[in-house]
Amino acid sequence: MKQQKIGFTRFIILSLFVIFICLCAAGCNKEDIPKNSGIVIFSTPARYSAEAKATGNLSASPVITPASAATGTATPTPSPTPAPTPVPTPVPTLEVLPTQGTIIEEFFELPIDFDDPTVTETFNGRTPLKQIRFKVCDPENKQNRSTERVGHWFGKDTPAQPKRFQQHYEEMGWSALTVDMKTTDKILYLTFDCGYENGQTIKILDTLKEKNVPAAFFVTMDYLVSAPDLAARMIAEGHIVGNHSDKHPDFSKISRTRMASELQRVENYLRTHFGYSTRYFRYPMGAYSDNSMDLVTSLGYHSIFWSFAYDDYTEGLIRGKEYAFDKVTKSLHPGEVLLLHAISQDNADALGDIIDYAYAQGYEFRTLKQYFG
Protein backbone atom coordinates (compact mmCIF):
# COMPACT_ATOMS: atom_id res chain seq x y z
CA MET A 1 0.00 0.00 0.00
CA LYS A 2 2.87 2.33 0.90
CA GLN A 3 4.58 1.63 -2.45
CA GLN A 4 1.31 2.49 -4.28
CA LYS A 5 1.22 5.89 -2.57
CA ILE A 6 4.85 6.53 -3.54
CA GLY A 7 4.16 5.60 -7.16
CA PHE A 8 1.08 7.79 -7.27
CA THR A 9 3.00 10.70 -5.82
CA ARG A 10 5.73 10.33 -8.46
CA PHE A 11 3.06 10.28 -11.15
CA ILE A 12 1.51 13.49 -9.82
CA ILE A 13 4.92 15.23 -9.65
CA LEU A 14 5.87 14.11 -13.16
CA SER A 15 2.52 15.28 -14.53
CA LEU A 16 2.88 18.66 -12.89
CA PHE A 17 6.41 18.97 -14.37
CA VAL A 18 5.13 18.13 -17.85
CA ILE A 19 2.33 20.71 -17.49
CA PHE A 20 4.86 23.30 -16.36
CA ILE A 21 7.08 22.60 -19.31
CA CYS A 22 4.17 22.93 -21.72
CA LEU A 23 3.10 26.21 -20.18
CA CYS A 24 6.64 27.59 -20.55
CA ALA A 25 6.81 26.51 -24.15
CA ALA A 26 3.48 28.15 -24.91
CA GLY A 27 4.61 31.44 -23.44
CA CYS A 28 7.87 31.52 -25.35
CA ASN A 29 7.53 33.52 -28.64
CA LYS A 30 10.23 33.73 -31.32
CA GLU A 31 9.52 37.43 -31.69
CA ASP A 32 10.93 37.83 -28.19
CA ILE A 33 14.41 36.88 -29.43
CA PRO A 34 16.44 39.97 -29.99
CA LYS A 35 17.17 40.75 -33.55
CA ASN A 36 20.78 40.54 -34.72
CA SER A 37 21.45 38.23 -31.82
CA GLY A 38 22.97 35.67 -34.16
CA ILE A 39 20.50 33.02 -32.88
CA VAL A 40 19.20 30.71 -35.58
CA ILE A 41 15.51 29.70 -35.33
CA PHE A 42 14.18 26.46 -36.74
CA SER A 43 10.72 27.28 -38.02
CA THR A 44 7.64 25.14 -38.51
CA PRO A 45 7.45 22.46 -41.24
CA ALA A 46 7.21 25.24 -43.76
CA ARG A 47 10.91 25.59 -43.28
CA TYR A 48 11.54 22.31 -45.10
CA SER A 49 12.34 22.60 -48.75
CA ALA A 50 9.71 22.17 -51.38
CA GLU A 51 11.54 19.06 -52.58
CA ALA A 52 11.36 17.52 -49.09
CA LYS A 53 7.61 18.20 -48.91
CA ALA A 54 7.03 16.70 -52.32
CA THR A 55 8.88 13.48 -51.49
CA GLY A 56 7.73 13.30 -47.92
CA ASN A 57 11.33 13.08 -46.81
CA LEU A 58 11.14 15.36 -43.83
CA SER A 59 14.28 13.89 -42.45
CA ALA A 60 16.25 16.11 -44.77
CA SER A 61 18.13 18.94 -43.22
CA PRO A 62 15.82 21.80 -42.45
CA VAL A 63 16.19 25.14 -44.18
CA ILE A 64 18.01 27.48 -41.91
CA THR A 65 16.52 30.95 -41.87
CA PRO A 66 18.33 33.86 -40.27
CA ALA A 67 16.44 35.70 -37.58
CA SER A 68 15.97 38.75 -39.75
CA ALA A 69 14.28 36.66 -42.43
CA ALA A 70 12.08 34.96 -39.86
CA THR A 71 10.67 38.29 -38.76
CA GLY A 72 9.73 39.13 -42.36
CA THR A 73 12.28 41.99 -42.48
CA ALA A 74 14.38 41.76 -45.62
CA THR A 75 18.07 42.26 -45.21
CA PRO A 76 18.86 45.46 -47.13
CA THR A 77 20.94 44.86 -50.22
CA PRO A 78 23.83 47.29 -50.31
CA SER A 79 23.56 49.69 -53.22
CA PRO A 80 26.34 49.18 -55.73
CA THR A 81 28.95 51.93 -55.76
CA PRO A 82 28.26 53.96 -58.89
CA ALA A 83 31.10 53.89 -61.37
CA PRO A 84 32.80 57.27 -61.69
CA THR A 85 31.70 59.25 -64.71
CA PRO A 86 34.65 59.32 -67.09
CA VAL A 87 36.02 62.79 -67.68
CA PRO A 88 36.71 63.26 -71.38
CA THR A 89 40.29 64.08 -72.19
CA PRO A 90 40.37 67.61 -73.59
CA VAL A 91 41.35 67.73 -77.23
CA PRO A 92 44.14 70.28 -77.73
CA THR A 93 43.29 73.05 -80.11
CA LEU A 94 45.86 74.26 -82.59
CA GLU A 95 46.34 77.99 -82.83
CA VAL A 96 46.46 79.04 -86.44
CA LEU A 97 49.07 81.74 -86.70
CA PRO A 98 49.06 84.29 -89.50
CA THR A 99 51.81 83.53 -91.95
CA GLN A 100 54.45 86.01 -92.93
CA GLY A 101 54.55 84.43 -96.34
CA THR A 102 52.11 84.81 -99.14
CA ILE A 103 48.98 83.15 -100.51
CA ILE A 104 50.42 80.68 -102.95
CA GLU A 105 47.03 79.72 -104.37
CA GLU A 106 46.70 83.08 -106.11
CA PHE A 107 49.43 84.69 -108.15
CA PHE A 108 50.00 86.74 -111.23
CA GLU A 109 52.91 85.94 -113.51
CA LEU A 110 54.56 88.98 -115.02
CA PRO A 111 55.24 89.06 -118.76
CA ILE A 112 58.72 89.08 -120.24
CA ASP A 113 60.16 92.59 -120.07
CA PHE A 114 61.97 92.99 -123.35
CA ASP A 115 60.94 92.23 -126.90
CA ASP A 116 64.21 90.51 -127.72
CA PRO A 117 64.99 87.94 -125.03
CA THR A 118 67.77 86.41 -127.12
CA VAL A 119 70.46 89.07 -126.73
CA THR A 120 73.77 87.50 -127.78
CA GLU A 121 76.15 90.25 -126.71
CA THR A 122 76.52 91.95 -123.34
CA PHE A 123 78.29 95.13 -122.25
CA ASN A 124 80.92 93.18 -120.34
CA GLY A 125 81.41 90.15 -122.58
CA ARG A 126 79.58 87.75 -120.29
CA THR A 127 77.11 85.21 -121.58
CA PRO A 128 73.60 86.65 -121.26
CA LEU A 129 71.27 84.95 -118.83
CA LYS A 130 67.73 83.92 -119.62
CA GLN A 131 65.03 86.34 -118.54
CA ILE A 132 62.86 85.41 -115.59
CA ARG A 133 59.17 85.98 -114.85
CA PHE A 134 58.24 86.78 -111.27
CA LYS A 135 55.10 85.24 -109.81
CA VAL A 136 53.29 87.83 -107.73
CA CYS A 137 51.76 85.98 -104.81
CA ASP A 138 48.51 87.39 -103.43
CA PRO A 139 48.47 90.23 -106.00
CA GLU A 140 45.39 91.86 -104.45
CA ASN A 141 46.80 91.76 -100.91
CA LYS A 142 43.86 89.72 -99.62
CA GLN A 143 45.77 89.08 -96.43
CA ASN A 144 45.39 92.80 -95.74
CA ARG A 145 49.00 93.45 -94.86
CA SER A 146 49.60 96.98 -93.69
CA THR A 147 50.37 99.52 -96.41
CA GLU A 148 51.27 102.24 -93.90
CA ARG A 149 54.40 104.04 -95.00
CA VAL A 150 57.54 103.55 -92.93
CA GLY A 151 60.38 105.92 -93.75
CA HIS A 152 63.84 104.56 -93.03
CA TRP A 153 65.24 108.07 -93.02
CA PHE A 154 68.85 109.11 -92.93
CA GLY A 155 70.46 110.71 -89.91
CA LYS A 156 70.42 107.53 -87.85
CA ASP A 157 73.79 108.52 -86.45
CA THR A 158 73.30 106.46 -83.29
CA PRO A 159 72.99 102.68 -83.52
CA ALA A 160 70.03 102.40 -81.12
CA GLN A 161 67.26 103.06 -83.64
CA PRO A 162 68.70 100.87 -86.43
CA LYS A 163 68.94 98.01 -83.92
CA ARG A 164 65.23 98.32 -83.19
CA PHE A 165 64.55 98.21 -86.92
CA GLN A 166 66.74 95.13 -87.33
CA GLN A 167 65.04 93.31 -84.47
CA HIS A 168 61.65 94.05 -86.00
CA TYR A 169 62.69 92.72 -89.42
CA GLU A 170 63.94 89.49 -87.85
CA GLU A 171 60.79 89.07 -85.75
CA MET A 172 58.64 89.48 -88.87
CA GLY A 173 60.69 86.96 -90.82
CA TRP A 174 61.82 89.47 -93.44
CA SER A 175 65.24 89.10 -95.04
CA ALA A 176 66.73 92.51 -94.40
CA LEU A 177 69.78 94.28 -93.04
CA THR A 178 70.08 97.67 -91.43
CA VAL A 179 72.83 96.91 -88.90
CA ASP A 180 74.81 93.73 -88.29
CA MET A 181 73.78 92.49 -84.84
CA LYS A 182 75.43 89.11 -85.28
CA THR A 183 78.75 90.49 -84.10
CA THR A 184 80.23 93.15 -81.87
CA ASP A 185 83.38 93.30 -83.98
CA LYS A 186 84.29 96.43 -85.91
CA ILE A 187 82.64 95.49 -89.19
CA LEU A 188 81.61 97.94 -91.94
CA TYR A 189 79.41 97.44 -95.01
CA LEU A 190 80.00 100.18 -97.58
CA THR A 191 77.08 100.86 -99.94
CA PHE A 192 76.27 103.48 -102.59
CA ASP A 193 72.98 104.55 -104.17
CA CYS A 194 73.18 105.28 -107.91
CA GLY A 195 70.01 106.85 -109.25
CA TYR A 196 71.87 108.48 -112.11
CA GLU A 197 75.44 109.25 -113.08
CA ASN A 198 77.04 112.69 -112.85
CA GLY A 199 80.74 111.91 -113.15
CA GLN A 200 81.70 110.97 -109.57
CA THR A 201 81.51 107.17 -109.79
CA ILE A 202 84.79 106.78 -111.68
CA LYS A 203 86.74 108.39 -108.85
CA ILE A 204 84.86 106.26 -106.29
CA LEU A 205 85.73 103.06 -108.16
CA ASP A 206 89.35 104.13 -108.49
CA THR A 207 89.62 104.69 -104.73
CA LEU A 208 87.98 101.36 -103.89
CA LYS A 209 90.36 99.55 -106.21
CA GLU A 210 93.36 101.33 -104.72
CA LYS A 211 92.31 100.53 -101.15
CA ASN A 212 91.08 97.02 -102.01
CA VAL A 213 87.68 97.68 -100.42
CA PRO A 214 84.47 95.93 -101.54
CA ALA A 215 81.22 97.84 -101.89
CA ALA A 216 77.64 97.46 -103.10
CA PHE A 217 76.11 99.80 -105.70
CA PHE A 218 72.32 99.99 -105.92
CA VAL A 219 71.35 101.07 -109.42
CA THR A 220 68.17 102.10 -111.18
CA MET A 221 67.25 101.24 -114.76
CA ASP A 222 68.18 104.78 -115.85
CA TYR A 223 71.66 104.29 -114.44
CA LEU A 224 72.17 100.96 -116.21
CA VAL A 225 71.01 102.40 -119.54
CA SER A 226 73.01 105.62 -119.25
CA ALA A 227 76.23 104.22 -117.72
CA PRO A 228 76.61 100.59 -118.78
CA ASP A 229 80.41 100.85 -118.78
CA LEU A 230 80.45 101.78 -115.08
CA ALA A 231 78.02 99.00 -114.18
CA ALA A 232 80.21 96.55 -116.10
CA ARG A 233 83.27 97.80 -114.20
CA MET A 234 81.52 97.35 -110.85
CA ILE A 235 80.82 93.73 -111.71
CA ALA A 236 84.30 93.10 -113.12
CA GLU A 237 86.01 94.47 -109.99
CA GLY A 238 84.02 92.26 -107.66
CA HIS A 239 81.50 94.73 -106.29
CA ILE A 240 77.85 93.91 -105.78
CA VAL A 241 75.38 95.55 -108.13
CA GLY A 242 72.05 95.77 -106.34
CA ASN A 243 68.52 96.50 -107.55
CA HIS A 244 67.23 100.02 -106.82
CA SER A 245 64.04 99.65 -108.94
CA ASP A 246 63.09 100.76 -112.43
CA LYS A 247 61.38 104.14 -111.86
CA HIS A 248 62.35 104.82 -108.22
CA PRO A 249 58.76 104.90 -106.82
CA ASP A 250 57.56 104.90 -103.22
CA PHE A 251 56.97 101.16 -102.58
CA SER A 252 54.42 101.84 -99.85
CA LYS A 253 52.09 103.44 -102.40
CA ILE A 254 52.11 100.97 -105.29
CA SER A 255 50.51 97.56 -105.83
CA ARG A 256 52.25 94.26 -105.28
CA THR A 257 52.21 93.65 -109.03
CA ARG A 258 53.85 97.02 -109.69
CA MET A 259 56.50 96.33 -107.04
CA ALA A 260 57.39 93.03 -108.67
CA SER A 261 57.51 94.66 -112.09
CA GLU A 262 59.89 97.35 -110.80
CA LEU A 263 62.26 94.65 -109.60
CA GLN A 264 61.87 92.31 -112.55
CA ARG A 265 62.70 94.92 -115.18
CA VAL A 266 66.05 95.77 -113.56
CA GLU A 267 66.81 92.10 -112.94
CA ASN A 268 66.12 91.11 -116.52
CA TYR A 269 68.15 94.02 -117.88
CA LEU A 270 71.10 92.90 -115.78
CA ARG A 271 70.64 89.33 -116.98
CA THR A 272 70.35 90.07 -120.67
CA HIS A 273 72.88 92.93 -120.95
CA PHE A 274 75.44 92.05 -118.28
CA GLY A 275 75.02 88.29 -117.73
CA TYR A 276 74.48 89.16 -114.07
CA SER A 277 71.81 88.45 -111.46
CA THR A 278 71.30 90.08 -108.08
CA ARG A 279 69.28 89.35 -104.96
CA TYR A 280 69.97 92.60 -103.09
CA PHE A 281 67.44 95.42 -103.13
CA ARG A 282 67.30 98.91 -101.66
CA TYR A 283 64.02 100.73 -101.37
CA PRO A 284 63.82 104.08 -103.15
CA MET A 285 63.90 106.81 -100.48
CA GLY A 286 64.03 104.04 -97.89
CA ALA A 287 60.20 104.01 -97.93
CA TYR A 288 58.42 100.70 -97.37
CA SER A 289 55.44 99.02 -95.69
CA ASP A 290 54.71 95.60 -94.21
CA ASN A 291 53.06 94.74 -97.51
CA SER A 292 56.11 95.65 -99.59
CA MET A 293 58.52 93.88 -97.23
CA ASP A 294 56.47 90.71 -97.57
CA LEU A 295 56.39 90.94 -101.36
CA VAL A 296 60.10 91.68 -101.76
CA THR A 297 61.03 88.82 -99.42
CA SER A 298 58.70 86.45 -101.29
CA LEU A 299 60.61 87.19 -104.50
CA GLY A 300 63.85 86.08 -102.90
CA TYR A 301 65.42 89.50 -102.30
CA HIS A 302 67.35 90.79 -99.30
CA SER A 303 66.27 94.34 -98.41
CA ILE A 304 69.33 96.46 -97.60
CA PHE A 305 68.83 99.54 -95.44
CA TRP A 306 71.49 101.40 -93.47
CA SER A 307 72.49 102.41 -89.96
CA PHE A 308 73.99 105.72 -91.05
CA ALA A 309 73.48 108.17 -93.89
CA TYR A 310 73.42 111.93 -94.24
CA ASP A 311 72.06 114.52 -96.67
CA ASP A 312 74.55 113.93 -99.47
CA TYR A 313 72.02 113.37 -102.24
CA THR A 314 71.64 116.92 -103.59
CA GLU A 315 73.55 117.31 -106.83
CA GLY A 316 75.84 120.31 -106.94
CA LEU A 317 75.80 120.85 -103.15
CA ILE A 318 79.48 121.11 -102.21
CA ARG A 319 80.51 121.56 -98.60
CA GLY A 320 84.02 120.17 -98.87
CA LYS A 321 85.54 116.77 -98.29
CA GLU A 322 86.25 117.66 -94.65
CA TYR A 323 82.51 117.95 -94.06
CA ALA A 324 81.89 114.50 -95.51
CA PHE A 325 84.84 113.05 -93.60
CA ASP A 326 83.61 114.41 -90.25
CA LYS A 327 80.02 113.26 -90.79
CA VAL A 328 81.03 109.72 -91.70
CA THR A 329 83.90 109.08 -89.28
CA LYS A 330 81.98 110.36 -86.26
CA SER A 331 79.25 107.85 -86.98
CA LEU A 332 81.37 104.70 -87.14
CA HIS A 333 79.99 101.81 -85.07
CA PRO A 334 80.34 98.00 -85.14
CA GLY A 335 78.11 96.35 -87.72
CA GLU A 336 77.46 99.63 -89.53
CA VAL A 337 75.81 99.69 -92.93
CA LEU A 338 77.04 102.98 -94.41
CA LEU A 339 75.00 104.61 -97.17
CA LEU A 340 76.63 107.19 -99.43
CA HIS A 341 75.26 108.69 -102.63
CA ALA A 342 77.59 108.38 -105.61
CA ILE A 343 76.59 111.77 -107.02
CA SER A 344 78.27 113.62 -104.12
CA GLN A 345 81.61 115.20 -104.97
CA ASP A 346 82.31 115.56 -101.24
CA ASN A 347 81.97 111.79 -100.82
CA ALA A 348 84.16 111.03 -103.80
CA ASP A 349 86.86 113.38 -102.56
CA ALA A 350 86.77 112.16 -98.93
CA LEU A 351 86.38 108.43 -99.55
CA GLY A 352 90.10 107.57 -99.44
CA ASP A 353 90.59 109.38 -96.12
CA ILE A 354 87.44 107.76 -94.68
CA ILE A 355 88.73 104.29 -95.56
CA ASP A 356 92.16 105.01 -94.07
CA TYR A 357 90.60 106.30 -90.85
CA ALA A 358 88.35 103.24 -90.54
CA TYR A 359 91.31 100.91 -91.02
CA ALA A 360 93.28 102.85 -88.37
CA GLN A 361 90.41 102.35 -85.93
CA GLY A 362 90.50 98.59 -86.49
CA TYR A 363 87.51 98.29 -88.83
CA GLU A 364 87.10 95.60 -91.47
CA PHE A 365 85.11 96.10 -94.68
CA ARG A 366 82.85 93.18 -95.54
CA THR A 367 80.46 92.32 -98.37
CA LEU A 368 76.74 91.66 -98.15
CA LYS A 369 77.44 88.12 -99.33
CA GLN A 370 79.49 87.55 -96.20
CA TYR A 371 76.52 88.59 -94.07
CA PHE A 372 73.78 86.63 -95.83
CA GLY A 373 76.00 83.69 -96.76
Residues noted as catalytic: 193, 341
Tell me how far apart the alpha carbons of residues 139 and 107 are, in angstroms, rounded to a whole number.
Answer: 6
Phi-psi region of 307 (alpha: psi -120 to 50; beta: other; left: phi over 0): alpha
The CA distance from 321 to 165, in Å, is 30
Question: What sign results for the dihedral spanned by CA atoms 137, 217, 288, 170?
Answer: positive
CA 61 vs. chain centroid, Å, equals 85
